[in-house]
Amino acid sequence: METNTTNTSPLKKITIESHLEVFDTMSELPENIQKIMNKAHEARENAYAPYSHFKVGAALQLATGEIITGNNQENAAFPSGLCAERVAVFYAGATHPNVAITAMAITARSLKKLTTTPIAPCGSCRQSLAEYEVNQDTPIPIYFMGEAGEVVKALSVKDLLPLIFDSAFL
């Protein structure tokens, strides 16, 4: 007997919504976010990206008001490199344990072409960020952009990574 896999209807369907806001330029952002985005731009230029020629900068605003930055650090053994977002969030975790992250800014620039598309964090970075958001129990708004142009705001890591895997499952 043949099994029909095309006409079966599921018991239940789930629709997942993400909430993103788009700003035309950096100048429309709140002042404190412009400040961390500027820090992310500065950090981006110090990225070590000799292989991809794609520089990424990230800045975190902490509940103490401090700003932590990071950039991508590549390696001749390619998988040994690390993204800007994880450099920043791991540094914050290492030096300011248990201090909440109140906002994050990310910017990326290709050395080969103009990047005006907002560059969202990669999947591994989203998962790493989720760990901190779940632990602090308050959403981390994430603002991301290219080197110029539109800025996208995700209200929470959850908007970028639905169905988060977290320690509650363990």
Q: Which residues are the active-site residues?
A: 85
Q: Does 40 bind ligand THU (CB under 6 A)?
A: no
Positive or negative, the Cα torsion across 150, 163, 82, 134? positive
Amino acid at 72: N
Minimal distance, residue 33 CB to ligand THU, in Å? 19
Kindly write out the interface string for residues 91-120 of this chain, putting x where it contacts ligand THU by CB under 6 A and - elsewhere: ------------------------------
Q: Does 54 bind ligand THU (CB under 6 A)?
A: yes
What is each CA distance from 1 to 4, 6, 81, 120, in whole angstroms?
Answer: 9, 15, 52, 47
Q: Does 72 bind ligand THU (CB under 6 A)?
A: yes
Of 26, 29, 33, 56, the one binding ligand THU by CB under 6 A: 56
Query: How many Cα atoms sit within 13 Å of 44 on the Cβ side?
Result: 26
Of 83, 103, 145, 161, the one binding ligand THU by CB under 6 A: 83
Stretch that binds ligand THU, among 14-22, 35-43, 52-60, 151-159 (CB under 6 A): 52-60
Helix axes of 31-45 and 84-95: crossing angle, nearest 10 degrees: 110
Tokens of 34: 């412009």
Query: Under a CB-based contact definition with an 8 Å cutoff, are residues 85 and 125 in contact?
Result: yes
Q: Which is nearer to ligand THU, 56 or 157 (CB)?
A: 56
- Tell me the number of residues near ligand THU by CB under 6 A: 13
Q: Does 140 bind ligand THU (CB under 6 A)?
A: no
CB atoms within 10 A of CB 140: 22
Minimal distance, residue 128 CB to ligand THU, in Å? 10
